[in-house]
Amino acid sequence: MSSPMAIGAGLVSGRVNQYNDFTVYTHRPGYSGLSVGVDGPSRAEIRYTDNHDGTVKVSYMPSSPGEYRITIKYDGISVRGSPYTVRIRGDEPSYSSTSRTHDNFSSLGSCGTAANRVRVSGRGLYSGITNVQNEVEIDVKDAGPGRLHWSIEGPGHVESKNRQLDDGKYRLYYRPDSPGEYHMKIQYDNREVFGSPFKIRMASLVIATGSGLISGVPHTYNDFSVYTNRSGIGGVSVIVDGPSRCDVKYKDTYEGYVRVSYYPAAPGEYRIYVMFDGINVTGSPFKVRIHGKRPKKYIATHEREDMMYAFRHRLKAPENVRASGRGLFSGLSNIYNEVIVNARNAAPGRLSWSIDGPGHVEAYNTPLEHGIYRLYYKPCRGGEYTIRIKYAERDIIGSPFDVRVV
């Protein structure tokens, strides 16, 4: 039986003098047994709405900004994730900001300042990922001497720094800790460069992936992983709705992701809701077909010879080789992602790997210790990629791996 869960934007942030909502999955009619407490700088009016589908909509309206603590209990037991810490803002959104100024900024090129001759580029001008270093490049070689100033503001704290490159180029780095819309202003000699201010949409890099989000088998545990970029299972919640109730288990791998297993008792189509801090992750809810018996697998892949790397080690059989690491399931473009291959207890054989996808990929591997290797790959753009790891021309367990690069 699935435990009660709560999801919704109202468990993350909200506004004063308006109702902020979230949903509680009770898996039974009505809202008797459900209790919600909102503690903070002001009292909050709370409303309950029965959706008549095993869920209850909860709305609360605080009158003062600040940090609130929301406690949710069902039949006297706290639901998973409770209590929630929620930031309530005033009528106008509050922002954090960071800025940098460079005096006596000189460059190669013509004399005089000319903000419209400054060229700005980089993926970080338009979108980015929280808790990851995002980049913007500024080229001033045709602008002449002057002062460069840049700032970024948004709903979260932003760490920033910069580095001088060659030929009048600079690279700006920023790392926000919260998702939302940010604004970057870039000025040269007190004049904004072309396109400034830039609106940047920051997303939280939480990805759910695995075969258990595609299909499964009844009367056994089906698995998938949720990559959170932080330790512990706090913030991860899963709801499985379908023909039968499902037992759901969570396991912290201590490698930045959580292993989730669910146990359906009947075949049919299920919906799996995967939430992080009360918000659906990308792709959620997932439609999953639970088959009466294990389905046949039909896999079509393509290998590119120029992306093939091979090395020898002692293997007993492909089933004894294990691959792990976040890079097996998700990755970032324009940075190196990692995969670990463990062939420690193997007889002589050939281990090879390849990666195929919509963009060019730089790849190499290094040995770590006896029988363990680290594979690196750097895709030039986002999209769906396939990593294939073989021994003796046979796929190891789990191969080919589908990787989502953003």
* Residues 195, 152 within the same domain: yes
CA dist 355 → 1, 185, 238, 327 (Å)? 40, 38, 31, 11
Cα dihedral 318, 383, 215, 338 in deg (nearest 10) = 40
Q: How many CB atoms lie within 10 A of CB 230?
A: 12
Place of tokens 């189509």: 269
3-class secondary-structure state, position 71: strand
Please report which confidence band the pLDDT of residue 302 belongs to, taking 50, 70 and 90 as the band edges.
very low
* Residues 290, 223 within the same domain: yes
* Residues 18, 71 within the same domain: yes
Q: Of 185, 203, 221, which residue constitutes the final position of a domain?
A: 203
* Residues 333, 264 within the same domain: no
Residue pair 367/396 in contact by the 8 Å Cβ criterion: no
Q: Is residue 185 part of a domain?
A: yes
Torsional sign, CA 105, 111, 112, 116: negative
Place of tokens 């473009």: 333
Q: Is residue 263 part of a domain?
A: yes
Q: Is residue 126 part of a domain?
A: yes
Residue 30, C-beta contacts closer than 8 angstroms, at least 6 positions apart: 50
Q: Is residue 283 part of a domain?
A: yes
CA angle 394, 397, 398 (to 5 degrees): 110
Using CA atoms, how far apart are residues 88 and 67, in angstroms rounded to an integer? Answer: 6
* Residues 64, 120 within the same domain: no
* Residues 355, 368 within the same domain: yes
Q: List pLDDT tens digits, range 260-270.
A: 999 999 999 99
* Residues 199, 119 within the same domain: yes
Mean pLDDT, the chain, rounded, equals 77
Rounded to an integer, the average pLDDT of 21-41 is 85
* Residues 163, 221 within the same domain: no
And the tokens for 1? 């039986």
Place of tokens 């100033």: 149
Please report which confidence band the pLDDT of residue 22 belongs to, taking 50, 70 and 90 as the band edges.
confident
Using CA atoms, how far apart are residues 389 and 169, in angstroms rounded to an integer? Answer: 40
Q: List pLDDT tens digits, range 75-127.
A: 888 887 788 888 888 764 444 455 555 543 433 333 344 677 888 888 788 77
CATH number for the domain spanning 329: value is: 2.60.40.10
* Residues 289, 358 within the same domain: no
Using CA atoms, how far apart are residues 238 and 223, in angstroms rounded to an integer? Answer: 12
Q: Is residue 106 part of a domain?
A: no
Please report which confidence band the pLDDT of residue 45 belongs to, taking 50, 70 and 90 as the band edges.
very high
* Residues 211, 195 within the same domain: no
Spatial strand order of the sheet with 158-164 comes to 119-121, 134-139, 169-176, 158-164
**Residues found in the chain:** 406
And the tokens for 122? 């980089």
Q: Is residue 71 part of a domain?
A: yes
Amino acid identity, position 150:
W
Rounded to 5 degrees, what are φ and ψ at 11?
A: -95, 0
And the tokens for 82? 């409770």
Q: Is residue 99 part of a domain?
A: no
- Give the domain range for residue 152: 114-203
Predicted confidence at residue 40, as pLDDT, reads: 92
Predicted confidence at residue 233, as pLDDT, reads: 59
* Residues 137, 175 within the same domain: yes
Using CA atoms, how far apart are residues 269 and 246, in angstroms rounded to an integer? Answer: 13
* Residues 198, 125 within the same domain: yes
Amino acid identity, position 122:
G
Place of tokens 């949710």: 72
CA dist 69 → 20, 388, 399 (Å)? 14, 46, 44
Using CA atoms, how far apart are residues 19 and 114, in angstroms rounded to an integer? Answer: 49
Domain tally, the chain: 4
For β-strands 268-276 and 286-290, DSSP reports them as antiparallel
Residues of the chain with pLDDT > 90, as a percent, come to 14
Q: Quick one: which of 102, 103, 194, 106 has its CA closest to 151?
A: 102
Residue pair 290/347 in contact by the 8 Å Cβ criterion: no
Residue 85, C-beta contacts closer than 8 angstroms, at least 6 positions apart: 67, 68, 69, 70
Predicted confidence at residue 304, as pLDDT, reads: 29
pLDDT of 1 strictly over 70: no
Please report which confidence band the pLDDT of residue 332 belongs to, taking 50, 70 and 90 as the band edges.
confident
Higher pLDDT, 145 or 230: 145
Q: Is residue 104 part of a domain?
A: no
Give all strands (DSSP E) within 357-396, no chain letters.
361-369, 372-379, 383-391, 394-395
Q: Quick one: which of 65, 75, 79, 83 has its CA closest to 20?
A: 65
Q: List pLDDT tens digits, range 5-20.
A: 787 778 877 889 999 9
